[in-house]
Amino acid sequence: MASARVPIWRDDRFWKVTLQILAVVAVVAIADFFLFNLRWSIARRGSGFGFDFLGSAASFDIGEHLIPFRSSDPYGRAFGVGILNSLKIMLVGLVLTTLLGIAAGVARFSQNWLLRKIVVVYVELFRNTPILLQMLFWYFAVFSNLPKIESRILVLDTVYLSNRGVVIPWISQGWGVVGLGVLAIAALLTWRWRTRRLVEAGDPGRAGLYILATFGVAAALILLFGLGWSLPVIGTNNQVTGGLSLSAEYCSALLALVFYTGAFVAEIVRGGILAVPKGQWEAAKALGFNNGLVMRLVVFPQALRVMVPPLTSEYLNLCKNSSLAVAIAYPEVYSVSSTIFNQTGRAVEMMLLIMATYLTIDLIIALVMNFINSMVQIKER
């Protein structure tokens, strides 16, 4: 039987090798075709490929910038200003979205009927309308309809609202923030030490409580006096000094992103909590935990395991959706880039730069989230 010749097309090994080779040829050919097409189109349009233009003067202005920018600065710096503006909206957006999403998701399990229903309405309303529409709504229906700066609204004597945006009190001393950070780390360590004593030695933990209280008082003192709060003052010429000015464009884009993505996060949180077996609730309650403690100590940590992977993609969505802020004149990276490619005609180069920027930001977020994911997974010892 062994001597019977197998025809080559019936031979598994032959097909395995041949198919691999064919696949490689196809991939290379297709990639080469597109690259060639790109090069050919560029040559045909009579503009060479290169990034030298980033060094020439931008000669346009950008409305808000975290680093100093004048119209005589180069395109490259303008692009950097755009990236920073994007990061400003992404980072703040991620934090606020997480807070809002978790709060809304957990509130779905509240004993309070009204709260539960409010969250249902919020989630369904914001999840099911396009984000661009929401952005335009915040901008044209909410912020643009606020009074002009001359007749601004003053909230709690500290926050100004006008159609130019929001001015809030802000920190002007750096060391206070450092102090708060140190206190927070110390408090965390104390908390863990106290928990260990509680569990392992059956210690009532009074000492730890006193130390924590001291930290709390110190933190409150720093918050009140150590940060050098600068209150906004609006002068006679309606010029704002002090405080932190957030433009109407920034606020609209941020609110739209946070409320939209927050609705999705709320659903992820709800799903994660539902995924924890009912027995866990019952067991915890049998041990005498109240509802809040069950959620915080037993259910939520287990829910995290299910929540983190889909949460990552919502975070990535938020970052990518931030480019929609171009519709309401917020100068984020896409907006600045589109001005640059209009002035220079360098569409391909600018598109590549924008893609590289979003790719880098999203990959970093994915990396961090994967790390967090590996931390919340069950550790088998």
For residue 345, state whether it binds another protein (rule: CB under 8 A).
Answer: yes
Nearer to another protein, 57 or 283 (CB): 57
The residue within the footprint of another protein, chosen from 8, 51, 61, 320 (CB under 8 A), is: 61
Taking the complex as a whole, the smallest distance from the CB of residue 160 to another protein amounts, in Å, to: 15
Contact 126, 262 (CB under 8 A): yes
234 lies in the binding site for another protein (CB under 8 A): no
Please count the residues of this chain forming the interface with another protein, following the rule CB under 8 A.
51
Is 245 near another protein (CB under 8 A)? no
63 touching another protein, by CB under 8 A: yes
CB 331 within 8 A of CB 140: no
Exactly one of 115, 274, 316, 327 binds another protein (CB under 8 A); that residue is 327
CA atoms of 138 and 142, how far apart (whole Å): 5
Residue 23 lies near another protein (rule: CB under 8 A): yes
Structure tokens at 299: 């259910």
Contact 197, 208 (CB under 8 A): yes
165: which strand partners? 162, 247
User: CA 23: distance to chain centroid?
Assistant: 39
Phi/psi for 6 (5° steps) reads -90, 125
Minimum CB distance to another protein smaller for 307 or for 324: 324
**Can you tell me whether residue 352 is helix, strand or coil?**
helix
Can residue 14 be called a binding residue for another protein (CB under 8 A)?
Answer: no
Among 3, 151, 237, 290, interactor with another protein by CB under 8 A: 237
CB-based contacts of 133, cutoff 8 Å, min separation 6: none
For residue 207, the minimal CB distance to another protein (Å) is 56
β-partners of residue 159 are 155
For the CB of residue 170, give the shortest distance to another protein in the complex, in Å: 19
Interface residue with another protein, options 14, 40, 49, 175 (CB under 8 A): 40
Helix H or strand E segment including 159: strand 159-162
Q: Does 44 bind another protein (CB under 8 A)?
A: yes
Name the residue among 261, 257, 254, 251 with its Cα closest to residue 127.
261
Under the criterion CB under 8 A, does residue 343 sit at the interface with another protein? yes
Among the listed residues 96, 23, 143, 45, the one whose alpha carbon sits nearest the alpha carbon of residue 322: 96
What's the token pair of residue 137?
A: 């709504």
Measured in Å, how far apart are the chain's first and last C-alpha atoms?
A: 53
Percentages helix, strand, coil for the chain (3-state, rounded to 5) are 70, 5, 25
Determine which residue in the list 238, 241, 360, 370 makes contact with another protein, applying CB under 8 A.
Answer: 238
Q: Does 70 engage in binding with another protein (CB under 8 A)?
A: yes
Q: Using CB under 8 A, which of 117, 148, 196, 296 touches another protein?
A: 148
Cβ neighbours, 10 Å, residue 107: 18
Cβ nearer to another protein, comparing 70 with 192 = 70
Residue 199 CA to residue 297 CA, distance in Å, equals: 14
User: Which residues are CB-contacts of 270 (< 8 A; sequence separation ≥ 6)?
Assistant: 105, 108, 109
Using CB under 8 A as the binding rule, whether residue 37 contacts another protein is answered as yes
Nearer CB in complex with another protein: 100/354 = 354
Contact map string, positions 171 to 210, toward another protein, x by CB under 8 A:
----------------------------------------
Position among 96, 222, 326, 361 found at the interface with another protein (CB under 8 A): 326
Could you say which residues in the range 252-281 bind another protein, by CB under 8 A? Answer: none
Q: Which is nearer to another protein, 211 or 244 (CB)?
A: 244
If residue 233 lies in a helix (H) or strand (E), which one and from where to where? strand 233-234
We find the least distance from the C-beta atom of residue 31 to another protein, in angstroms, to be 10
Distance CA 92, CA 149 (A): 25
Contact call for residue 64 and another protein (CB under 8 A): yes
Give the interface with another protein as residue ranges (CB under 8 A).
Answer: 15, 19, 22-23, 25-26, 29-30, 32-33, 36-37, 40, 43-47, 59-64, 70-72, 140, 143-145, 148, 163-164, 237-239, 248-249, 326-329, 331, 335, 338-339, 342-343, 345, 347
